[in-house]
Structure 1
């Protein structure tokens, strides 16, 4: 079930289906963002998904998913193929720049839902690619 939840989450991500992503997470989802704060709860996670949908167009490729034996933890490694569409405050101006960025995520799962996702990527590498 752990692998299926993570696969469904990323299938929805690649389809640009924010509601599909939300269906995979718990009401009290904890979203830890690379070099950022922690978003707690489905509403803040939905806001993040909406923002990402207008600022970036991304596809995750070369996905490898790892899970522990009891189904409570998981991880994924992948390569982000993206376009920077709309300027994010505090970041370089968006002009449709493309980027390819290795990334990964760690998950806690509870009752078949993702209760925590922590995402990591090299921000300096991304900045070099879009600057």
Structure 2
């Protein structure tokens, strides 16, 4: 599978809520660099993060555009996050089913045909403004 197809499959699984399938696209030593917080290392840590996110948020990514370098070892994606805040996340505003819409992007490192790094960025202050109002 080429890099663009790998990233597309990863996001297709995300949008369908198939988090176990998402794990199949990850390298065993994956590093997950989140917008705020520590780096999560390994598939188990990534799976725990997905479980937490599934409890607190329902999201669909739209307008996905995927970029990859010629070597196929680096990629990026730009997209819109369309979400619903389901359960209060510690340190964040109280969840009451609020909806939000944010531009976001991710950067990837590919190793051995799998995603070895995911770095995601979005505007947390804008998300907070949308759900707190």
Residue deviations 1:77-113, cap 9 Å, x none? Answer: 0000000000000000000000000000000001110
Q: Please name the residue that 1:120 is paired with.
A: 121
Q: Residue 51 of structure 1 aligns with which residue?
A: 52
Structure 2 length-normalised TM:
0.97
Instruction: Report the alpha carbon displacement of residue 52 of structure 1 after superposing the two structures with TM.
Output: 0.7
Give the gaps of 5 or more residues in structure 2. Answer: none
- C-alpha deviation, 1:35, in angstroms: 1.9
Describe the SS at the equivalent of 1:78.
strand
2:68 equivalent to 1:67: yes
Match of 1:108 in 2: 109
Runs of 4+ in 1 over 4 A off after TM superposition: none
User: 2-side partners of 1:48 and 1:22: how far apart?
Assistant: 11
TM-score (ref. length: structure 1): 0.99
Q: CA RMSD in A?
A: 0.5
